[in-house]
């Protein structure tokens, strides 16, 4: 690009040439024509440039025909102007999700169908490296093969019963850890691996469901036995307590204590205004009370 002094020098030169060649044309008209020519040249040069719009949640990698991929810069959102020999390759740097239908063999060789969901995002700061190594189709070349490999390896460690019931969460965690480790050094960040469904042959699934039902019935029966045993222990303890209580009461009711209570009752009756006859010297040593009602 010319500096300002060079541009002014060329404009003055063009004005002098125009004045010499066309003496009848005014100086102002010549200057206007020169400006129009300059504007036309600018438009012509600018017409060769290209624009690329980087959308929200996107990043772009610069590739030049003459210099290759620019490994030192990631272009952010907005309008980017570049010459025609430069391309800006856009990448979605937001979290993305893909559903996968995968078949694998269990530990006893049974075919297991699995619906899995994988969530990931590319590392925005490492887009140039990702572009050079895998390109825009990096999911199919990197994430998908690692996911399928991890599923087949991990499923092979479990029986169908474990996959269908008790150890599904363990299966999911193991697959996630393996895939995350595999893609961590390849400019991809794994967010989650979710096991949505596990498919078994109908006969196997029916057998597993019946087995689970029988186990639940056995657990319910065992619970009932324990409950009844505890109830029997409670009743035994209650009966033992009542017998001990009766024994203590019986032992406490001695002859002397009963005679003492009889004397107290006689005294209370003697103080009563009702007429009565008290005979002393009964066979049990207690007074016999005869009186009107």
Question: Tens digit of pLDDT per residue, the chain (293 long)?
Answer: 444 455 555 556 555 655 565 555 566 666 677 777 667 656 545 556 788 899 999 999 999 999 899 999 999 999 988 888 999 999 999 999 999 999 988 888 888 889 999 999 999 999 999 999 999 999 999 999 999 999 999 999 988 878 877 788 899 999 999 999 999 889 999 999 999 988 877 766 556 556 656 566 666 767 777 777 888 888 888 888 888 777 777 766 666 666 666 777 777 766 766 655 665 555 555 566 555 54
For residue 288, give the H/E element and its range: strand 288-291
- In the numeric block, the tokens 């959102």 are attached to 77
The kind and range of the H/E element at 215 are helix 202-252
180 contacts: CB under 8 Å, gap ≥ 6: 190
Given this model, what pLDDT does residue 4 score?
47
pLDDT at 1: 42
3-state SS, residue 207: helix
Helix (H) or strand (E) run with residue 133 in it? helix 127-133
pLDDT the model gives residue 139: 96
């Amino acid at each position: 690009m010319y500096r300002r002094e060079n541009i002014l020098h060329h404009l003055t030169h063009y004005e002098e040439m125009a004045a010499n060649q066309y003496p009848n044309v005014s100086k102002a008209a010549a200057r206007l024509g020169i400006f129009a020519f300059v504007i036309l040249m600018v438009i012509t040069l600018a017409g060769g440039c290209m624009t690329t719009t980087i959308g929200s949640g996107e990043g772009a990698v610069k590739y030049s025909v003459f210099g290759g991929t620019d490994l030192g810069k990631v272009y952010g959102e907005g309008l980017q102007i570049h010459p025609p020999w430069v391309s800006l390759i856009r990448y979605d740097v937001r979290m993305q999700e893909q559903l996968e239908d995968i078949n694998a063999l269990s530990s006893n060789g049974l075919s297991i169908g699995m619906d899995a969901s994988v969530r990931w995002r590319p590392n925005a700061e490492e887009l140039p490296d990702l572009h050079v190594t895998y390109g825009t189709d990096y999911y199919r070349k990197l994430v998908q093969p690692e996911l399928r490999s991890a599923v087949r390896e991990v499923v092979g460690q479990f029986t169908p019963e474990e996959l269908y019931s008790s150890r599904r969460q363990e299966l999911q965690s193991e697959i996630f850890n393996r895939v995350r480790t595999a893609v961590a050094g390849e400019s991809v960040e794994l967010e989650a691996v979710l096991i949505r469904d596990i498919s078994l042959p109908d006969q196997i699934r029916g057998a597993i469901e019946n087995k689970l039902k029988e186990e639940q019935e056995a657990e319910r029966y065992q619970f009932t036995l324990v409950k009844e045993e505890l109830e029997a222990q409670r009743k035994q303890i209650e009966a033992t307590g009542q017998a001990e209580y009766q024994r203590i009461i019986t032992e406490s009711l001695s002859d002397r204590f009963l005679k003492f209570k009889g004397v107290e009752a006689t005294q209370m009756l003697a103080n009563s205004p009702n007429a009565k006859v008290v005979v002393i010297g009964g066979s049990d040593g207690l007074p016999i009370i005869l009186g009107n009602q």
